[in-house]
Structure 1
Amino acid sequence: MKFVDEYRNSTLIHRQAEEIARRSQGQSLKFMEVCGGHTHTIYKHGIEDLLPSTIDLVHGPGCPVCVLPMGRIDDAIAIARTDGVIFTTFGDMMRVPGSQGSLLDARASGADVRFVYSPLDALKLARQHPDRQVVFFAIGFETTAPSTAVTLLRAQAENIQNFSIFCNHVNVIPAIKAILDSPDLRLDGFVGPGHVSMIIGMRPYTFIARDHHKPVVISGFEPLDIMQSIAMLTKQISEGRAEVENQYARVVRHDGNEKALQVMARTMELRPFFEWRGMGFITQSALKLRPEFAAWDAELRFKVPGIRVADPKACQCGEVLKGVIKPWNCKVFGTACTPETPIGTCMVSSEGACAAYYNYGRFGVATERTRTLA
């Protein structure tokens, strides 16, 4: 398949592996792949097994489902249980646990919760059910925010009054800043998120290289993309450089998608602060609807608890999201917490690091670094 097969070429991938080994020269390096999509590619295709044992890849907070705190899930469930509401959401959010169960549990107990593929599907439901209030659970980084913004503008243009948005869009840059300021983790570079960068471009990452002297390589999602990105990171380090480079040039432009940024700016603004699972409150790290769109703001239309809820003590999803531990370091990983019986969001989401480790058989040090025994 064009634009897939050529990025899974084993000859080119092994050539990149040789370059990485040559340039790293036994130096211990720790790189963070920010995006959950990268994590799944790494373990699905066994990329870590091609790298020198001295190179360690850790996971970042790039899974939008995973970073939502339990309190926001409880707020969503409260809206869903309101009489006359059709609550719509992406499929990943259906099974994410709050303190009183999940949206799937709410549906089982009588709430009208439906999964949709886009916010425009939710708007279509609002047209079809003028006697019901249709709410869309908007989540995601800057990648998905433009589609929410366009849907909001369409709802305004058509004056659809029975449609509203529960906005939980988050911004990746403040999360990366929080990680860099954390004393828990030493990083040598970042594999930058490709889909987010398609929207925001390269410029927002410059502070990482300028202020923290860490290289960043924005990467695509195929195995060769990631291997080439790691090679580019090791090359920068071997040459004493710290720059923002773009491996994903076939999709990402330096200034991003200006039209998408404009429609986001027209409909949304920064929240003063927002809670991230495992990372606490981060200033200006999420979006809310602008006052002129208050009529379509579910947080204003419905009564929500708005209470901060602590994560289950057994779950270490927060530490996984910050790259402090590997999923198999969590005591409940693969035992009490599985994709069928998830305790934390990292095991629920299709982009969650715990789900990646579980689905591709990474249950401990022995399976993670078998090549060191060869």
Structure 2
Amino acid sequence: MNYKTLDSSKVYLITGAAGFIGYHLADKLLNQGCKVVGIDNLNDYYDVNLKYHRLEQLAPYEQFTFIKSDIADKEALFKVFEEYKPNIVINLAAQAGVRYSIENPDVYIQSNIIGFFNILEACRYYPVDHLVYASSSSVYGANKKVPFEESDFVDHPVSLYASTKKSNELMAYTYSHLYKIPATGLRFFTVYGPMGRPDMAYFGFTDKYFAGKPIQIFNDGDFEKDLYRDFTYIDDIVEGIERLLNNPPAPEESVQHKVYNIGNNQPEKLMVFIQALEGALTQALGKEVSFIKQFEPIKPGDVPATYASTDLLQEAIGFKPQTSIEEGLRRFAEWYVQYYKIER
């Protein structure tokens, strides 16, 4: 393993810069003196105030430029590439969420297919050193074999969201093959942490606790068949991305395209995660926290387990996520109580 460290002389373009992962990555790169151009359409899929709050944290950095735009707008995207000439592009802009893709499929095609096609076209006409893009663990569908390995068969997605992410990997491979664009796809596994996405379960559970409402657990109340998730703390995700940025697939590869899992490699039962969240909130508030639990059938598009094999990533960049769910949730709970000004 001989990977190159971050190069602060390069221009980094992050799409979805006001999003959860985009914000944390931008913050880390700016802290190291990199020039970062951020794009985000600031849509209202979840609380826009949280997106503005993230951008406020980035605003003091002189090396940061923010552009409110949509990657589905090809002309606007090309103008950004023309003006800022990014060396490295990190595409994190996407319509997220498995369940929402059942309610509102159109936005997934617009953002995840058309938007990503525009990114590939921009990298074709304004060549870059490396395109890193977000895929998802959802591409594994209902695979029974665990842990999930990058070489596994992924032709049975169980949600439209998963289909769009699988499509991204195929499109990126084709563009790498045709136009020699060095590209790396990252299959993220349940990312959580401070300033996270309110549509994620741990955030929603916390909201419901403070609203005095029960939390819904989609496992039929069957603890033997409990859902397993490979929960991955945001700092681990960001470190993995950062280490990959200056390490595109080698030019001697027949096609300069790679896909890696980026997960904790240690799946937890959903009920264990919920108990850890109760413990973290108890610690943050200084009083006992216990959720009111309501058990429901598993939702269409959900999968029973996610579990990442991280061997390939470790081989490539010498890194494996380390943060325990207890530590990660403690940091989330501290942030939540502070951000929403909750009395302890």
TM-score under structure 1 normalisation? 0.31
Q: Which has the larger radius of gyration?
A: 1
Where relative contact order (Cα < 8 A, 6+ residues apart) is larger, the structure is 1
